[in-house]
Structure 1
Amino acid sequence: MPGDAGNMAGRFVADRYRGVLIAVIVATAAKFLSEHYGAPAMLMALLLGIAFNFLSEGGACQLGIEFSARTILRIGVALLGVRISIETMIGLGPALILTVIAGVVLTILFGILAARVLGRSARFGVMTGGAVAICGASAAMAIAAILPKSETSERDLTFTVLGVTILSTLAMITYPILTATFDFDARAAGVFLGGTIHDVAQVVGAGYSISEETGDVATLVKLIRVAMLAPVVLVISLIMQRRVAAGEGAKRPPLLPLFVIGFLALGAANSMGLIPGSVTTVLSTGSQWALLTAIAAVGMKTSLKTMFDIGGQAIALIVGETLFIILIILTGVHLAT
């Protein structure tokens, strides 16, 4: 019935618009701080969101905050696909492409193993390893979206986003100095920066602080890591399906989540030149705003008090994963040059 459908849609919007609106306001404040004071936008959105944690504990904003942290998050990840172009990646050469891919895969495997050694769950290792290996906060949120939920899910995600954002900011400042210490040329420096720094924005900042050529190579390498998001999420989904089939869960997850299909479709369309440059810019900006809004909502769902329960093992894990991917990329750059 059209009338019933309209009423349901109206109720859906009425129940959620307040929470979405407050998440957008927090994201806007974070963007303002980023543009005027140089602070990482993701970090600001997360911290500001945590300050409004009381809004997620019931009341008119709760459903909207949940919607922002889940659905808007997935929209933002799907729109990341417009940054991917196969043609631009081929120019890097097979050896360095394989090095970057190996860095992603091995870092995630290292994260799982190290998490077990440190007494953390394999799921936590997958999320932190994926965040370090692929694209920081965006990857952490995408992976968290398909992992089974637990009472510590929001806390673990918040810690991961916080950790990779802080480490990325430190890397943006210190890694260019390391490239000079290692006497890298522009191409090797770009591969190192793009292959090791977690978040895209910090990769761009670090690369172009050295030279235009270094910035171009660093951005290209980073996009290869971003492109690994879809296959990684697919593999995790397959593993989750097998565990559910073996009786470890109650609800069977989709083989390929819809947001990953959107990511792949946009990446393929962009690679074939089907998306005009102006549209690519709009969609990329939309992705940034969606992810900022989502991480603000994730912050609202996180109690600062619970963050102190995360433990030193978690900090050691994410730092260890960061050092591990540095080792992999340095080895690859040495062998390829």
Structure 2
Amino acid sequence: MAKAVPGVIFTTVIALVATFISGLQIIKETVNFSPLIISILLGILIGNIWKIPEPLKLGVVFSLKKILRIAIVFLGFRLTFQNVIDVGLEGLIVDAVMLISTFTFGVWVSRKLFGLEPEMSYLIASGSSICGASAVLATAPVVRAEMHHAAMAVATVTIFGTISMFVYPIVYKFAGSFIGFDEVLYGIWTGATVHEVAQVVAAGFAVSDTAGNTATISKLTRVMMLAPLLIVLSFYLARKKATHGAGIALRDIPIPYFVFGFIAMVGVNSLDFIPKNIVHYINVFDGFLLTVAMAAMGLETNINKMKGVGMKPIYSAFLIFIFLFFVGIVSIKIVHQILG
């Protein structure tokens, strides 16, 4: 833990600079980027022009993994179960539809159109349809993928997840009314189609608190679908190969436990016994923790490493990204028309 301190201080300084820059009048009047967006941009810039010293790397990884999960847990203080009810059946249906359709399309396009190996196809599809890199890493042992498959899949979902994080707020700003999205529908769209939890948080809160809260609920609902998908995939592969042990034991499936922490905090906040001013300070601090995590994500995004990724996985992930973008819009419009 002590060895991580220098790296955590480093990401914290970047987050402080990002917070300062986002508050500048010229930034507010032009691009109006949130501290989250500026923090990841600074991280990418610094990480790709300066080799991060070894003593800092442990803290950077700690910021990306541990601090991010802590921040997601405390995001629960921005919500109550009434908010969850407000998103309701509509958000749940959209999440399920997008997960199933995207995973199916992702495997098909990777295998049939680009001739990728089955293992690679499953990894790219799971990363795109659920929760990015963490879904890739969770799926790898189920499909018995080689580590270079996992590395390539992580690279592809990182690329297009990062692109989504910037594109979605811009699309909403300039075409939201044309599409027919309000902040809640935008949040559902973002949560149901953007790859990583952190990217969803950034894209959601870049528009508004309402959009960010809705996006977070939608995304974490989608993340909770990881375990059922892995169970189904494991049994499918076991049956397909007609051999015992083709899958993994249910107890070995990695469960994103921070999701349950998030739900617990929503429950605590729903009881309404913590003073509003205390909740406000918790939310301010939590926003800064997210900014620290964004700095770490940027520092870990090494552009040079992307050169080793073959183009076919990138082409496949690009088509899945397009699928997520447009089918997500259509799905929300249809479900909203039926249930709204």
CA RMSD of aligned residues (A): 3.7
Give yes or no for contact 1:110–1:321 (8 Å, CA) kept in 2: no
Give yes or no for contact 1:16–1:67 (8 Å, CA) kept in 2: yes
Distance in 1, Cα, partners of 2:61 & 2:207: 34
Give yes or no for contact 1:108–1:125 (8 Å, CA) kept in 2: no
Aligned residues: 298
Deviation for aligned residue 1:205: 6.6
Further displaced range: 189-198 or 77-86 = 189-198
Is 1:193 aligned to residue 170 of structure 2? no
C-alpha spacing 1:202/1:72, structure 2 compared with 1 (3 Å)? closer
Amino acid at match of 1:22: F
Distance in 1, Cα, partners of 2:334 & 2:249: 43
| Partner residue, 1:176 | 176
| Partner residue, 2:305 | 306
Task: Give CA deviations for 1:109-144 in whole Å, capped at 9, x if unaligned.
Answer: 2221222233253333333333xxxxxxxx657757
Provide the secondary structure at the position in 2 that maps to 1:273.
coil
Distance in 1, Cα, partners of 2:214 & 2:45: 35
C-alpha spacing 1:65/1:247, structure 2 compared with 1 (3 Å)? farther
Distance in 2, Cα, partners of 1:145 & 1:42: 25
- What pairs up with 1:141-220 in 2 under 5 angstroms? 143=135, 150-152=150-152, 155-156=155-156, 158-178=158-178, 189-198=182-191, 199=200
Distance in 2, Cα, partners of 1:252 & 1:316: 34
| Partner residue, 1:23 | 11
Deviation for aligned residue 1:228: 1.4
| Partner residue, 2:290 | 291
C-alpha spacing 1:326/1:25, structure 2 compared with 1 (3 Å)? same
C-alpha spacing 1:105/1:270, structure 2 compared with 1 (3 Å)? same
Give yes or no for contact 2:234–2:246 (8 Å, CA) kept in 1: no
- What pairs up with 1:122-133 in 2 under 5 angstroms? 122-130=122-130
Distance in 1, Cα, partners of 2:159 & 2:135: 14
Distance in 2, Cα, partners of 1:239 & 1:292: 36
Give yes or no for contact 1:241–1:252 (8 Å, CA) kept in 2: no
Give yes or no for contact 2:185–2:332 (8 Å, CA) kept in 1: yes
Further displaced range: 99-108 or 75-84 = 75-84
Q: Can you give the 5+ residue segments of structure 2 that lack an aligned partner in the other structure?
A: 111-119, 141-146, 192-199, 239-243
Give yes or no for contact 1:140–1:160 (8 Å, CA) kept in 2: no
Deviation for aligned residue 1:234: 4.7
C-alpha spacing 1:101/1:20, structure 2 compared with 1 (3 Å)? same
TM-score (norm 1): 0.72
Deviation for aligned residue 1:328: 0.9
| Partner residue, 1:106 | 97
Give yes or no for contact 1:42–1:165 (8 Å, CA) kept in 2: no
| Partner residue, 2:337 | 334
C-alpha spacing 1:235/1:227, structure 2 compared with 1 (3 Å)? same
Aligned residue among 325, 328, 337 for 2:328: 325
Distance in 2, Cα, partners of 1:275 & 1:70: 28
Give yes or no for contact 1:82–1:267 (8 Å, CA) kept in 2: yes
| Partner residue, 1:49 | 43
Give yes or no for contact 2:138–2:253 (8 Å, CA) kept in 1: no
Distance in 2, Cα, partners of 1:219 & 1:225: 10
Is 1:228 aligned to residue 216 of structure 2? no
Give yes or no for contact 2:157–2:317 (8 Å, CA) kept in 1: no
Amino acid at match of 1:333: H
Distance in 2, Cα, partners of 1:204 & 1:259: 20
Q: Can you give the 5+ residue segments of structure 1 that lack an aligned partner in the other structure?
A: 1-11, 131-138, 183-187, 208-214
Give yes or no for contact 1:46–1:158 (8 Å, CA) kept in 2: no
Amino acid at match of 2:40: L
Deviation for aligned residue 1:291: 2.6
TM-score (norm 2): 0.71
C-alpha spacing 1:193/1:255, structure 2 compared with 1 (3 Å)? closer
| Partner residue, 2:277 | 278
| Partner residue, 2:241 | none
Distance in 2, Cα, partners of 1:143 & 1:161: 13
Amino acid at match of 2:337: H
- What pairs up with 1:86-101 in 2 under 5 angstroms? 86-90=81-85, 92=86, 97-101=88-92
Further displaced range: 44-53 or 189-198 = 189-198
What is the percent sequence identity of the aligned residues?
A: 18
